[in-house]
Amino acid sequence: MSDRLRPSSDSTVVSEAVTLLERVRATPPLTHCITNAVVTGFTANVLLATGAAPAMVDIVGESGMFAGIASGMLVNLGTPTPEQRAASREAAEGASTAGTPWVLDPVAIGALPVRTALAQELVALRPTAVRGNASEILALAGLSGGGRGVDATDSTDDAAEAAAALADRYGSVVAVSGPVDLLTDGERVIRIANGDPQLTLVTGGGCALGAVMAAFLGAARATGISALGAVAAATLVYTIAAERAAAASGGPGSFAVALLDALAGLQPEHLVAAARIEESSR
């Protein structure tokens, strides 16, 4: 970990994270999730623990309508059945029409052709944010063949230029997950060094973060906090909760439960004390 990513108590990211966490809890954002079958329950529980209101609406004929009702939306391509693919297209178009902020998580794209083509189609609809590991971001930018399924074979720094290019091309915030998360809107770059390796040992550990980002984007509406600020705030809240969960657990099973408890119990002072952030211009 870089010495520059030191604890920070006066960062804009920290103050915005405090504001948005309090707002999520006070006025739970209705968070529409089209996500993969492996993680649906865990994702819903993470949203509830954070303070948001989850809704898993992935039926054609309903997903587009619901995208206009929701505060924020996630489209995760982990198990893209034919029904989900059609529902994802409908929902993305509905969100774009209604102005609902939404997150695209292009899970395991690159080597797998069906989801790769779908991800390219959806990113052209200009999601508010794109979240993925380094290999997925490189593949979405057309610069690699992807990683090993859901596992990255590239580092976040390897994907920095690809993330910036995607942000410039589609007007999206791009969040590259890894030991140090890298987030950019094409102009600003934020690195967050919080988190714990046990997140990679729990099914849905990364996917649920995309849902939290969608919730925070929904909560940020009309606050003046930018999309980059909302995505960074979600990342900070989630990764600091993961650190606290790891300290209270004995392995992946108890960690998954402890993560829910840590999210529910997270306080502003925890964010201020634990944040490890670097902010820069591109």
Secondary structure (3-state) at 21? helix
CA–CA gap between residue 24 and residue 28 (Å, rounded): 5
pLDDT in tens, 202-233: 999 999 999 999 999 999 998 999 999 999 99
Check residue 154 and give its pLDDT. Answer: 73
CA 209 to chain centre: 4
CA dihedral 133→56→103→219, nearest 10 degrees, is -120
Q: Does CATH number 2.30.110.10 belong to domain 13-281?
A: no
- 246-265: average pLDDT: 98
With beta carbons less than 8 A apart as the criterion, state whether 75 and 91 touch: yes
Plot region of 51 (φ>0 → left; ψ -120 to 50 → alpha; else → beta)? left
Beta sheet of 188-192, edge-to-edge order: 53-55, 30-34, 72-76, 102-105, 129-133, 173-177, 181-184, 188-192, 277-281
What rounded mean pLDDT belongs to the chain? 93
Contacts of 235 (CB under 8 A, 6+ apart): 175, 181, 183, 192, 209, 213
Which residues are known binding-site members for substrate?
Answer: 56, 204
Which residues are known binding-site members for ATP?
Answer: 131, 177
Percent of the chain with pLDDT over 90: 89
Check residue 1 and give its pLDDT. Answer: 39
CA–CA gap between residue 121 and residue 64 (Å, rounded): 16
Strands 181-184 and 53-55: unpaired
Q: pTM of this prediction?
A: 0.94
Which residues are known binding-site members?
Answer: 56, 131, 177, 204
